[in-house]
Amino acid sequence: MSAKNFYVTTPIYYVNDKPHIGHAYTTILADVIARFHRSNNQPVFFLTGLDEHGQKVQQAAEKRGMDPQAHCDDLAPRFLQLWERLEIRYDDFIRTTEDRHQTIVQKVLQDVYDKGDIYTDEYEGWYSVSEERFITEKEKDSGEFRDVKRIKEKNYFFKMSKYQQQLIDHINANPGFIQPEHRKNEILGFLREPLNDLCISRPKARMSWGIDLPFDADYVTYVWFDALLNYVSAPGYGSDENKFQTWWPANVHLIGKDILTTHCVYWPTMLMAMGVELPTTVFAHGWWLMGESKMSKSLGNVVSPLDLIEEYGVDAVRYYLMSEMVLGQDASFTIESFIKRFNSDLANDFGNLLNRVCGLIGKYFEAKVPQPGEHTAEDRAIIDQAVALETEVTRHIDKLQIHSAIFAILDLVGKTNRYMEHEAPWKVAKEDLTRAGTILYVATESLRVAAHHLSPVMPARCGKVRGILGAADSGAAWGELKPGTELPAPEALFPRLEMPGV
């Protein structure tokens, strides 16, 4: 991780329903990554927000018999409240109906239009109402699109095809631009066919909920041309050059695999037309499935993040989502795996180590952290692993492999539990209190280092663990735990969960 500024984004969510576990996942992921970077003293800008225009939102508002703006204003707080409950520390929250965003969208449209990269044309083609875009003959024949209509109308087009080769060259020259690798190949495959220009307008007669085209008042802007620009409007593009230079290009846009084409074809070609540098990485994660099936309202299996927090607490939810999904692949959500993971990693390993050290220090050292003496080879193995953890965690986070970072941290905790069993300080204390003190210092300090590294994933409970150890603001270095610190009586921070129905 370099000391350079770090800018991370989530997709901006459609305000058509309450947030679900998929939205919560990407936002927690961005938060965890942001916190890891902040803990390395890197300046971070973490942006999230809401996508409030377009047909989906207009239809959702109509269904509720509400004006679209009133509908958005009504639903936006649900997202904000959820982010608060999930301990999401974003730096900016953008709504695409805000003036600061609308002004920039119009400015970009005008600039690209003046440059000659937007033209008008009578177009007849297949239009997917659910996808809100014209689709190709091939896409129509694939049968993957619902609500397909033949539409003929005048529209404005962005010359996306003009940038096709430049985009292919960029992807080839920057292997980290689209991640994971198989998604990059998917986009390169897509780009083997000639790229169509992008229809970026919607006649108001058909769909009026959007940003007016600055050069034709009968049209609004296509929702994706509007939404993608949030990534630059928020950090000051066209309004605060200094701020923009500080943060752009974004280090990583986190997205779900379903919005790969918009982020890896529309967005980079738009930036090329604007003459703006491309983001460093677009990372597409997989989907959370409910067991084996897709999460969907019609199947009635959508998991509410608020219900989960209510039942198990925010840190348990964050921990599960971050450790269970291998970034880039789909993951299966089940309550059984949730409880299993909590019990094995947090109750049996992490929580158990905390209880043991606090209990034994209470019993043999009047609850004061003992002074360590000479180190044995066994002690050194733990110390070396704890010290090496910083580099290892950083390496995984840089590759966005959060589950591997967690695995490495939990490995130290597991080794420390085994070290305790092997060294048995409760036996040693009867003959050699200095040695018992050394063992307990090493185990407690290892726990503190683990809690430090795990804090971005579980800020509240790791904060509590570090607080209990009198080391709330301590870092990754070995030896920050102060001998003499008084520890409170052990408290079950991670009590075992029962399987429902057992």
Q: Considering beta carbons, is residue 6 or 79 the nearer one to ligand MSP? A: 79
Residue 337 CB, nearest approach to ligand MSP (Å)? 15
Query: Per rule CB under 6 A, is residue 51 in the interface with ligand MSP?
Result: yes
**Residues of span 175-204 touching ligand MSP by CB under 6 A:** none
Which uninterrupted H or E stretch holds 409? helix 402-423
Among 6, 7, 8, 11, binds ligand MSP (CB under 6 A): 11
Q: Does 235 bind ligand MSP (CB under 6 A)?
A: no
Minimal distance, residue 302 CB to ligand MSP, in Å: 8
Nearer residue to ligand MSP within complex by CB, 145 or 287? 287
Q: Identify which of residues 11 and 425 has a Cβ nearer to ligand MSP in the complex.
A: 11
Tell me whether residue 151 or residue 302 sits nearer to ligand MSP (CB atom): 302
Supply the minimum distance, in Å, between the C-beta of residue 291 and ligand MSP.
12
Question: HEC profile for 109-154?
Answer: HHHHHHCCCEEEEEEEEEEECCCCEEECHHHHHCCCCCCEEEEEEE
Biggest CA-to-CA distance, the chain: 91
CB of 303 or CB of 413, closer to ligand MSP: 303
Question: Residues in contact with ligand MSP, total (CB under 6 A)?
Answer: 19
Contact with ligand MSP (CB under 6 A) among 207, 227, 309, 428: 227
Check residue 41 and give left, alpha or beta (phi > 0: left; psi -120 to 50: alpha): left
Window 264-303: contact mask with ligand MSP (x via CB under 6 A): -----------------------xx------x--------
Contact 420, 439 (CB under 8 A): yes
Q: What share of the chain is helix, strand, coil (3-state, %, to 5)?
A: 50, 15, 35
Measured between alpha carbons, how far is 265 from 164 in angstroms, rounded to an integer? 9
Whole-angstrom distance, CA of residue 94 vs CA of residue 234: 7
Among 28, 167, 255, 353, which residue interacts with ligand MSP (rule: CB under 6 A)? 255
Q: Strand locations in 37-116, DSSP E?
A: 44-51, 92-95
Q: Specify the residue, 24 or 393, whose C-beta has the smaller distance to ligand MSP.
A: 24
Q: What is the 3-state secondary structure (H, E, C) of 280-316?
A: CEEEEECCEEECCEECCCCCCCCCCHHHHHHHHCHHH
Of the listed pieces 19-27, 35-43, 338-346, 426-434, which binds ligand MSP according to CB under 6 A? 19-27
Could you say whether residue 444 binds ligand MSP (CB under 6 A)?
Answer: no
- Residue 67 and residue 58: Cα distance in Å, rounded? 8
Binding letters toward ligand MSP, positions 403-442, x by CB under 6 A: ----------------------------------------
Selection from 37, 43, 47 nearest residue 88 by Cα: 47
> 471: helix, coil or strand?
coil
Q: Which is nearer to ligand MSP, 9 or 343 (CB)?
A: 9
Minimum CB–partner distance for residue 289 and ligand MSP (Å): 7
Q: Note whether 156 binds ligand MSP by CB under 6 A.
A: no
Is the Cβ of residue 289 or residue 381 nearer to ligand MSP in the bound state?
A: 289
Binding of residue 259 to ligand MSP (CB under 6 A): yes
Q: Residue 50 gets which letter from DSSP?
A: E
Smallest gap, in angstroms, from Cβ of residue 462 to ligand MSP? 25
d(CA 313, CA 319): 10
The closest alpha carbon to 444, from 412, 422, 473, belongs to: 412
- Closest residue by beta carbon to ligand MSP: 256
The mark string for 116-145 relative to ligand MSP (x by CB under 6 A, - otherwise) is ------------------------------
Encoded tokens for 288: 């959370």
Cα gap 288→217, rounded to integer Å: 41
Q: How many CA atoms lie within 13 A of 293 on its CB side?
A: 9
- The residues that touch ligand MSP, with contacts defined as CB under 6 A, are 11-14, 22-23, 25-26, 51, 227-228, 230, 255-256, 258-259, 287-288, 295
